[in-house]
Amino acid sequence: MTDYRYIGKPIDRVDALEKVRGTARFVGDYHLPGMLYARCLRSELPHARIVKLDVTPALQVPGVVAVITSDDFIDHGRFGFPISDLFMLAYEKVRYVGEGIACVAAETPEAALAGTKAILCELEELPAIFDMEHALDPNAPQIGPAREDGKHPNFLGHFPVYDGDPEAVLVDCDAVIDQNYETVMQEHAYIETEGSLAIPTVEGGVLAYVSCQSPFIARGHIMRTLGLGETAARVINPPVGGSFGGKDDLNYMTAGQVACLALKTKRPVRMTFSREESMIASYKRGAMRMRVRVGADKAGKLRACHFKATYDSGAYSSQSPFTSWRASIHAMGPYRYDACTVDLTTVYTNNGFAGAFRGFGNPEVYAGIEQAIDELAEKLGIDPLDFRLQNCLRLGDTTPHGQTLTESVGLSDCLLAVRKASDWERKRAAYAHQSDPDRRRGIGVTALFHGTSLGAEGTDEATGTIEIHQDNRVTLTSGLTDYGPGSRTVYCMIAAEMLGVDIQRINIHLPDTNLAKDSGPTVASRSTMLGGNATRIAALNLRQNLDYAAADLLGCEVFQLQRAGESYLGPSEEPVPWEVVVEHARRMGLVLSTFGRWSAPKIHWDEEAGRGVPYFAYHFGAQIAEVEVDLRTGLTDVLNYYAAHDAGKVIFPQGAYGQIYGGVAQGLGYALYEDVDYMDGYLQSINFDTYLIPTSVDVPEINGSFVETHYSQGPFGAKNIAEPAMVPVAPTILNAIAQATGRRVRKLPANLERVLLGETLHKKGSPVSCKVALKSV
């Protein structure tokens, strides 16, 4: 095993001190002389035609400087990928409560709010649809754009996987589970709400500080919707106070709005959201309804799976096509089958809108398949962990997609690791024979696989640069955003390891479209794999030049060089300081600024056939939850949690463990508390006093571990960890609740009522929370 100096070793985060000391400057911390404050007028109806929009009264409000609408953008500010159905501000109609209609810039936040209230906006209410199951009914109101293919306008996409005929196989199975499962929307709940600052430049362009997941995507939307050239728009990522997928389309809208206002007023303009405005306006994790049928023979061999689901994208497409595709790829779970079909349909409704969220569709489908696998094991009388070990994907297996797994498959080892750590056999047996009538314990398990990076969703590459300055400082750049996981620290570790220098020499710029090159969005847990490889290549190119300089200086061949700390040694074994080698390289005229690009292996997915190679590698993992349920109240306490993950080589241990702990905590909320409840299109919880998320009191003792299976294409053998840590948490907890109570909760969250009564409750009341809050937003 290679003994690295930094890789896999404890190291301080590069941004730790500024965050601990409170000196990190987020968008909301910027205050410039003459800066204006922006605020949006937002829709109070879930679906309506804009009959009249007169902004002149707002301009009469003291302190108001400018007002913009969709007319102030090219093509009315249309943007979005892969479907351009979003607008910087609503055009012709609104599709959800909270959609931005007009934007005001004023001297004070109070004047901006008064300006939005003065706008004359007449909306003609249109029929709306809130039930995803009826979105494609022939008489359903049209939410999405008209289609040329003759399909229903509310149809957003169909995402299949085909492997044989599961219907024929299910008939011959000895045991079959046929159940419905449901997940609800989830709020990102990041500490920092949305925000952007735009500053007009002297040449007529704009500089924007945007709290987002890709400064290049933000720049592209600003350029296209405002008619700016590439050099006229610059976007910088300040520190981002959490994202989990949420700092995407809505913040691109915000960036476009303040950029437009800055150009119009020739003054800096900043917009930041209150928590209420953030929750009302922002997109969520999409909701999903699933019917899962799985069958096995009496010996416990899985034979067939038919997974059918409907996904609610809400009012706009956003990232739902990508989310839905990823969900379809993983819906059958990490198992072998004789036949398997996944049939996932995505639709428009007027329930806010859905977009990217940690796990990208996989937490939803795992809430279905991993409960169904548990129920099938129970029906067969087989221990659920043994059942998974018997059927899980292993090295050399072929997935239902038709992909043969040739390396880095550590799922069985992960299952064995959590079984040992949790004392599974003893607890499972003990909890099966409890006598306390009021409180019962249970223990549950899940397994997962999760595709690494973007996969066949699109071109997948990243770049990085590295430069030695005159004072011998080393500076890195990357186009990828670090919104918490620690990727900037990972890049510094890789650069220091490859160059053989002290990590204190390494500095890294914040992402800046004028300094870095486009590396795609920071999504899909791709930062370490893509950005890490790009940094490694850039550092290798730089080290090669330094090695030439050292060999020239020491009068030897490159292969004869050795390193002692930072110093170079030749045949004479007299150490030469790194700084001396750098200076000699300058005298030789060797470049000390290098570039690295890494492109993911080429893969292919056939959408019509529903087969191919969707991802070039997979993360594997297993998790176990131990719960105690109060049978009198339905209260569930998660006592202990065990997680083992195959992330390849772990480069930055604190960051990797942090992802496990954070993923479990976020999944805990998804499992037990969080419910974005839209009633007739109105959000019922608009702040954290009623929208419940876990606190430190709720988070259990978490035992995290890693199974390091080397992946040949990864930097130092690394894969990914950020998203997969959350993916299986909800079904893990639900499986434990099922053992404790003897009944299933098949709709998230497993709140007090559902755990106590074991049924889906339909809430009654008036849709007022969001509507009332909009009056003051």
Band of pLDDT at residue 43, cut at 50, 70 and 90: very high
Question: pLDDT (tens digit, 9 = 90+) per residue, 392-408?
Answer: 999 999 999 999 999 99
For 54, other C-beta atoms within 10 Å of its C-beta total 13
This prediction's pTM: 0.94
Quick one: tokens of 448? 């997962």
Same domain, 424 and 572: no
The per-residue pLDDT for 3 is: 85
How far apart CA 382 and CA 373 sit, in angstroms, is 11
Same domain, 614 and 748: yes
Domain count across the chain: 3
Q: Which of 220, 239, 272 is the last residue of a domain?
A: 272
Q: Is residue 777 part of a domain?
A: no
How far apart CA 39 and CA 273 sit, in angstroms, is 8
Band of pLDDT at residue 757, cut at 50, 70 and 90: confident
E strand or H helix at 447, and its extent? strand 439-451
Same domain, 303 and 370: yes
Q: Which of 241, 272, 303 is the last residue of a domain?
A: 272
Return the C-alpha torsion angle 138, 140, 141, 144, nearest 10: -80
Same domain, 372 and 428: yes
Same domain, 361 and 260: no
The per-residue pLDDT for 542 is: 96
Contact 89, 100 (CB under 8 A): yes
For 470, other C-beta atoms within 10 Å of its C-beta total 9
What whole-number percentage of the chain has pLDDT above 70? Answer: 97
The per-residue pLDDT for 289 is: 98
Question: pLDDT (tens digit, 9 = 90+) per residue, 285-299?
Answer: 999 999 999 999 999
Same domain, 213 and 294: no
Mean pLDDT of 707-729: 94
Q: Is residue 774 part of a domain?
A: no
How far apart CA 447 and CA 345 sit, in angstroms, is 25
Q: Please, how many CA atoms are within 13 Å of residue 678, restricted to the half-sphere of its CB?
A: 32
Calculate the CA 585 to chain-centre distance: 43
Q: Please, how many CA atoms are within 13 Å of residue 636, restricted to the half-sphere of its CB?
A: 32
Contact 308, 291 (CB under 8 A): yes
Q: Is residue 71 part of a domain?
A: yes
Q: Is residue 316 part of a domain?
A: yes
Question: pLDDT (tens digit, 9 = 90+) per residue, 183-221?
Answer: 999 999 999 999 999 999 999 999 999 999 889 999 999
How far apart CA 462 and CA 104 sit, in angstroms, is 37
What whole-number percentage of the chain has pLDDT above 90? Answer: 85
How far apart CA 480 and CA 216 sit, in angstroms, is 9
How far apart CA 360 and CA 323 sit, in angstroms, is 5
Calculate the CA 729 to chain-centre distance: 15
Q: Is residue 49 part of a domain?
A: yes
Does the bond joining 521 to the residue before it have cis omega, within 30 degrees of 0?
no
Question: pLDDT (tens digit, 9 = 90+) per residue, 123-164?
Answer: 999 999 999 999 999 999 999 998 888 899 999 999 999 999
Same domain, 616 and 749: yes
Return the beta strands (E) in 192-325 as ranges: 195-200, 206-210, 233-236, 269-272, 287-296, 302-312
Integer angstrom CA distances of residue 715 from 273, 321, 723: 38, 30, 19
How far apart CA 430 and CA 434 sit, in angstroms, is 7
How far apart CA 763 and CA 679 sit, in angstroms, is 9
For 34, other C-beta atoms within 10 Å of its C-beta total 9
Same domain, 568 and 679: no
Integer angstrom CA distances of residue 493 from 22, 202, 488: 24, 38, 9
Question: Which CATH number is 86's domain given?
Answer: 3.90.1170.50
* Mean pLDDT taken over the chain: 93
Same domain, 569 and 660: no
Contact 134, 312 (CB under 8 A): no
Band of pLDDT at residue 764, cut at 50, 70 and 90: very low
Q: Which of 582, 599, 616 is the last residue of a domain?
A: 599
Mean pLDDT of 378-388: 98
Q: Is residue 2 part of a domain?
A: no
Question: Which CATH number is 558's domain given?
Answer: 3.30.365.10
Q: Which residue has the higher pLDDT, 455 or 22?
A: 22
The per-residue pLDDT for 425 is: 97
Q: Which residue has the higher pLDDT, 167 or 510?
A: 167
765 pLDDT exceeds 80?
no
The per-residue pLDDT for 761 is: 37
760 pLDDT exceeds 50?
no
Quick one: tokens of 115? 């300006």
Same domain, 408 and 386: yes
The per-residue pLDDT for 769 is: 62
Question: pLDDT (tens digit, 9 = 90+) per residue, 584-634?
Answer: 999 999 999 999 998 888 899 998 899 999 999 999 999 999 999 999 999
Three-class SS of 382-445? CCHHHHHHHHECCCCCECCCCCECCCCCCHHHHHHHHHHHHCHHHHHHHHCCCCCCCEEEEEEE
The per-residue pLDDT for 768 is: 59
Indicate the angle between helix axes 411-422 and 384-391, nearest 10 degrees: 160
Q: Is residue 421 part of a domain?
A: yes
Domain that holds residue 204: 31-126+194-272
Integer angstrom CA distances of residue 264 from 42, 61, 67, 260: 21, 18, 9, 6
Q: Is residue 721 part of a domain?
A: yes
Same domain, 741 and 691: yes
Same domain, 241 and 115: yes
The per-residue pLDDT for 438 is: 93
Return the beta strands (E) in 126-194 as ranges: 155-163, 175-183
The per-residue pLDDT for 762 is: 39
Mean pLDDT of 251-269: 97
**CA nearest 727: which of 389, 340, 447?**
447
**CA nearest 482: which of 267, 242, 272?**
242
Strand ordering across the sheet containing 233-236: 64-68, 100-106, 36-42, 269-272, 195-200, 206-210, 233-236
Q: Which residue has the higher pLDDT, 767 or 497?
A: 497
